């Protein structure tokens, strides 16, 4: 399992903490920036992770900004990225079981290390349930392929 990590300055500390913990647990972890804690724009890092997901360079994206909101909105603009902004375990489990998300967005200013780790572990241990959920995901896929302009 290859996990790509991306953050802005609001999420970098939590990103580094989770990357260290998950690497210790045996996951292959790749840091797509930001790196220095300088003020940056979260769409740039959502894009890096989105492109890595599309290229299948990674199996899962973990994105971090102050709240997880902006970076998830940006990531979900990239076709093939299904990013869930979650802040507790139940939603993390649903994000896998029902939504088959391939990316999680977490808030560096809203979550502590232990809760964030528990959220990610819950997601990693869950399995997509298919069936009726698959039909709904197919509809989302169709929306990606639609030209919305008149």
Active centre residues (catalytic):
65, 98
By CB under 6 A, tell whether 66 contacts ligand RB5.
yes
Identified binder of ligand RB5 from the candidate list 70, 81, 95, 96, rule CB under 6 A: 70
What residues have CB less than 8 Å from 92, skipping those under 6 apart?
A: 84, 86, 104, 119, 120, 122, 123, 126
By CB under 6 A, tell whether 33 contacts ligand RB5.
no
Question: Which CB sits closer to ligand RB5, 71 or 100?
Answer: 71
In the Cβ-directed half-sphere of 141, how many Cα atoms lie within 13 Å? 10
From CA 112, how far away is CA 97, in angstroms rounded?
24
Question: Which CB sits closer to ligand RB5, 78 or 100?
Answer: 78
Identified binder of ligand RB5 from the candidate list 4, 18, 67, 100, rule CB under 6 A: 67
Q: How far is the CB of 62 from ligand RB5 (least distance, A)?
A: 15
Asked if 105 and 85 touch (Cβ cutoff 8 Å), the reply is: yes
Where do contacts with ligand RB5 occur on this chain (CB under 6 A)?
8, 10, 42, 65-67, 69-70
């Amino acid at each position: 399992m290859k996990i790509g990590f991306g953050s802005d300055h609001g999420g970098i500390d939590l990103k580094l903490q989770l990357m260290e913990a998950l690497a210790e647990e045996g996951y292959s972890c790749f840091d797509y920036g930001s790196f220095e804690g300088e003020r940056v724009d979260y769409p740039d890092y959502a894009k890096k992770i989105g492109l890595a997901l599309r290229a299948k360079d990674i199996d899962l994206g973990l994105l971090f900004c102050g709240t997880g909101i902006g970076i998830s909105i940006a990531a979900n603009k990239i076709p093939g990225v299904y990013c869930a902004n979650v802040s507790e375990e139940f939603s993390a489990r649903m994000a896998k079981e029902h939504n088959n998300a391939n990316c999680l967005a977490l808030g560096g200013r809203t979550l502590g290390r232990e809760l964030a780790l528990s959220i990610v572990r819950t997601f990693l241990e869950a399995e997509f349930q298919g069936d009726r959920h698959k039909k709904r995901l197919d509809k989302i896929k169709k929306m990606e392929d639609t030209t919305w302009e008149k």
